[in-house]
């Protein structure tokens, strides 16, 4: 039985060098370890962050692990520098000899674009070491470019794979293929924008999609477009943020928080709440709603230095020339719904009624015929 990696924030321990010949900076490494030990991270990843460990000799790599093990009491995921199965196994075994049971897993690079061969490679490393595997997809170092679909196929039926450290250039195709199984709430506003966010999450394969709205009539709409859970903040006792964080606690992850949150309201208070209910360490909060002129958004710096990302988007990041035809194809194939969003058809002289319906929360999208 493989012991899963403890959920939480894992420090990225880049190997420091010094001098014109780039010698291993042992003093600097010790200070880094002491720092991570004091800020309360869950564990460390070492010898596999940016591929810099490939510059080290076997003895220097052992020295790095000795310093890490002696300086702090954190579990360690050890990176392997080789693409060859036999050498990776040897490196993992040497790491275990140096750091003992402090080695919580081994980070193995993608060494081929062929799913079956990659799966066999990972299986052999695990069988020989008994360690959980963190798969590192880093073509800048490995020289191997693998399609997201192939990486997903390689990892099927591999329960010992604890995580994927994806460092390929991010693309829409990659996100669609690798996002399956994420806990992805939509925070705020199940109007036209929010419902389309739901559709996008469903299309990406998210298995937990939380819609948040003050109007209970939107629950049925949200479920129609892919929502799995509905929350009305008026029906929650106390702060909505801890409520949503607790709602997303599942299995081994008892920290809670969403992998992605989306503000679709333009309300600056909701923007802050959306950020603060995203997962510590890797959560991303995307601002879609447009705030009023002159309004400002704020949060405590702690929310960001613990690993959350706060960013905005314009038109969903879509590129008109290339992405609009793709969206049309999705519509024609029935993958996304647009027609149900047109709740009212109005004559031009009734256009003000359309604004009234919108403000009352009774319409999603109205079409004016003239």
Q: Tell me what pLDDT residue 317 has.
A: 75
Per-residue tokens: 324: 């609009």
pLDDT band at 187 (very low <50, low <70, confident <90, very high): very low
Q: Of 171, 206, 233, at which residue does a domain stop?
A: 171
Structure-token pair, residue 181: 């199984």
Residue 197: is it exposed, middle or buried by C-beta count within 10 angstroms (0-12/13-18/19+)?
Answer: buried
Are 55 and 96 members of one domain? yes
Beta strand ranges found along 81-171 (DSSP E): 103-109, 133-137, 161-166
**Mean pLDDT to the nearest integer, 252-257:** 85
Q: Are 228 and 361 in a shared domain?
A: no
Pairing relation of β-strands 17-18 and 23-24?
Answer: antiparallel
Contacts of 243 (CB under 8 A, 6+ apart): 231, 236
**Chain position carrying tokens 């992805």:** 184
pLDDT digits (tens, 9 = 90+) for 278-317: 999 989 999 988 887 788 999 999 999 999 999 988 777 7
DSSP character string of 282-313: T-EEEE-SPPPTT------HHHHHTT-EEEE-
Whether 333 is covered by a domain: the verdict is: no
Give the domain range for residue 345. 338-370
Together in a domain, 123 and 40:
yes
Question: pLDDT tens digit string along 219-243?
Answer: 888 888 888 999 998 899 989 999 9
The CATH number of whichever domain residue 311 belongs to comes to 3.40.50.720
Both structure tokens of 348: 């031009």
Does residue 254 sit in the same domain as residue 302?
yes
* Same domain (yes/no): 251, 303: yes
CA 207 to chain CA centroid, Å, is 14
Angle (CA) 73-78-84 rounded to 5° is 165
Together in a domain, 237 and 343: no
* pLDDT per residue as tens digits for the range 140-184: 678 888 887 788 888 888 888 887 776 665 433 444 455 453 333
Same domain (yes/no): 116, 242: no
What residues contact 8, with CB distance under 8 A and at least 6 apart? Answer: 41, 42, 43, 255, 280, 281
Q: Could you read off the pLDDT of 67-122 as tens digits, one per residue?
A: 988 888 888 999 888 899 999 999 999 999 998 888 989 999 999 999 999 999 99
Q: Are strands 309-312 and 103-109 parallel, antiparallel or unpaired?
A: unpaired
DSSP-assigned states of every residue in 18-70: ETTTTEE-HHHHHHHHHHHHHHT-SEEEES-SSSGGGGS-HHHHHHHHHHHHH
pTM of the model: 0.50
Question: What b/e string do you get for 280-305 counting C-beta neighbours within 10 Å, with b at 16 or more?
Answer: bbebbbbbbbebeeeeebeeeeebee
| Residue 69 domain flag | yes
């Amino acid at each position: 039985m493989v012991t899963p990696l403890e959920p939480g924030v894992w420090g990225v321990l880049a190997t420091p060098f010094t001098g014109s010949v780039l010698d291993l900076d042992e003093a600097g490494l010790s200070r880094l370890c002491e720092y991570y030990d004091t800020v309360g991270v869950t564990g460390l990843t070492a010898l596999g962050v940016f591929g810099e460990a490939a510059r080290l000799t076997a003895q220097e790599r052992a020295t790095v692990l000795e310093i890490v093990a002696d300086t702090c009491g954190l579990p360690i995921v050890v990176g392997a520098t080789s693409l060859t199965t036999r050498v990776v196994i040897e490196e993992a075994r040497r790491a275990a000899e140096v750091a003992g049971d402090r080695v919580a897993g081994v980070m193995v690079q993608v060494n081929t674009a062929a799913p079956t061969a990659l799966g066999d490679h990972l299986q052999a490393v695990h069988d020989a070491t008994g360690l959980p595997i963190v798969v590192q997809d880093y073509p800048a170092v490995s020289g191997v470019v693998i399609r997201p679909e192939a990486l997903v196929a390689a990892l099927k039926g591999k329960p010992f794979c604890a995580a994927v450290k994806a460092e390929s250039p991010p693309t829409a195709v990659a996100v669609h293929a690798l996002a399956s199984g994420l806990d992805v709430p939509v925070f705020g506003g199940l109007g036209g924008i929010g419902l389309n966010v739901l559709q996008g999450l469903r299309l990406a394969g998210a298995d937990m999609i939380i819609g948040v709205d003050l109007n209970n009539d939107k629950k049925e709409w949200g479920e129609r477009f892919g929502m799995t859970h509905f929350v009305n903040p008026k029906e929650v006792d106390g702060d909505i943020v801890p409520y949503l964080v607790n709602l997303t606690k599942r299995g081994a992850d008892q920290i809670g928080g969403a992998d992605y949150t989306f503000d679709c309201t333009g309300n600056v208070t909701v923007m802050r709440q959306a950020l603060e209910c995203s997962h510590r360490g890797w959560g991303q909060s995307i601002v879609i709603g447009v705030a009023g002129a002159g309004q400002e958004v704020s949060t405590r710096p702690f929310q960001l230095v613990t690993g959350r990302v706060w960013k905005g988007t314009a038109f969903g990041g879509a590129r008109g020339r290339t992405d609009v035809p793709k969206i049309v194809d999705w519509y024609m194939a029935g993958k996304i719904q647009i027609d149900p969003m047109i709740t009212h058809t109005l004559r031009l002289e009734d256009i003000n009624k359309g604004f009234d319906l919108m403000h009352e929360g009774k319409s999603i999208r109205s079409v004016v015929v003239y």
